[in-house]
A and B are shown apart, each in its own frame.
Chain A
Amino acid sequence: MIEVLDDWCKGCEICVNRCPVQALEISEIMNKKGVRVPRLKAVNKCHQCRLCEQLCPDFAITVIKEEKEEGEEKECKLIIGGVCAD
Chain B
Amino acid sequence: MSEMINQTEMREKYLRKGMLPSIFCNGCGHGSSLDYTFRAIEELGLDLDNMVFASGIGCSSRIPGYINADGLHTTHGRSLAFATGVKAANPELDVVVFSGDGDATGIGGNHFIHAARRNIDITVIILNNFIYGMTGGQVAPTSPKGTIATTAPYGNLEGAFDISELAKSLGAAYVARWPVFYPSQPIKSIKDAIQTKGFSLVELMSPCPTAYGRRNKLGNIKKLWDWYEDNSILAEEYDKIMNYGTDEEKAETINKIKIGVFQHTEKVGFFEAYEEQIANLMANDDKKWGGSK
Residues of A at the B interface (CB closer than 8 Å) are 3, 5, 7-8, 10-14, 17-18, 50-51, 53-59, 61-64
Contact = CB atoms under 8 A, between A and B. Distances in A.
Nearest to A35: B26
Interface residues of B, number: 26
Contact of A14 (B10, B20, B27, B36): B27
A62 B28 CA distance: 19
Contact of A57 (B15, B35, B222): B35
Interface stretch (B1-9, B107-115, B195-203, B259-267): B1-9
B130 interface: no
A50 B222 contact: no
A57 to B, nearest CB: 3
A17 B26 contact: no
- What 8 A-B pairs come out closest when comparing CB atoms? A57-B31, A54-B183, A62-B7, A12-B27, A17-B222, A8-B21, A10-B26, A12-B26
B186 to A, nearest CB: 10
Nearest to B206: A57
Given A57-B28, A58-B20, 6 more contacts: A12-B26, A14-B27, A57-B32, A57-B35, A59-B7, A62-B7
Contacts of B29: 57
Contact of B8 (A12, A57, A62): A62
- Most A CB contacts (10 A, CB to CB) among B15, B30, B183 go to B183
B240 interface: no
B32 A10 contact: no
B1 to A, nearest CB: 12
Interface of B: 4, 6-8, 10-11, 15, 20-22, 24, 26-32, 35-36, 39, 181, 183, 221-222, 225
- Most A CB contacts (10 A, CB to CB) among B6, B28, B31 go to B31
Given A10-B21, A61-B7, A55 B32 contact: yes
A6 to B, nearest CB: 11
A71 B20 CA distance: 42
B22 A58 contact: yes
B39 A59 contact: no
A16 to B, nearest CB: 9
A7 to B, nearest CB: 7
Contacts of A14: 27, 221, 225
- Most B CB contacts (10 A, CB to CB) among A8, A53, A62 go to A53
B221 A12 contact: yes
Contacts of B10: 59
19 contacts: A8-B21, A11-B26, A12-B26, A12-B27, A14-B225, A17-B222, A17-B225, A51-B183, A53-B7, A55-B32, A55-B181, A57-B24, A57-B29, A57-B32, A57-B35, A59-B11, A59-B15, A62-B6, A64-B6
A74 to B, nearest CB: 20
A58 B36 CA distance: 12
B218 to A, nearest CB: 15
A54 B39 contact: yes
Given A8-B20, A12-B26, A54 B31 contact: no
Contacts of A62: 6-8
Nearest to B39: A54
Contact of B35 (A13, A56, A64): A56
A7 B21 contact: yes
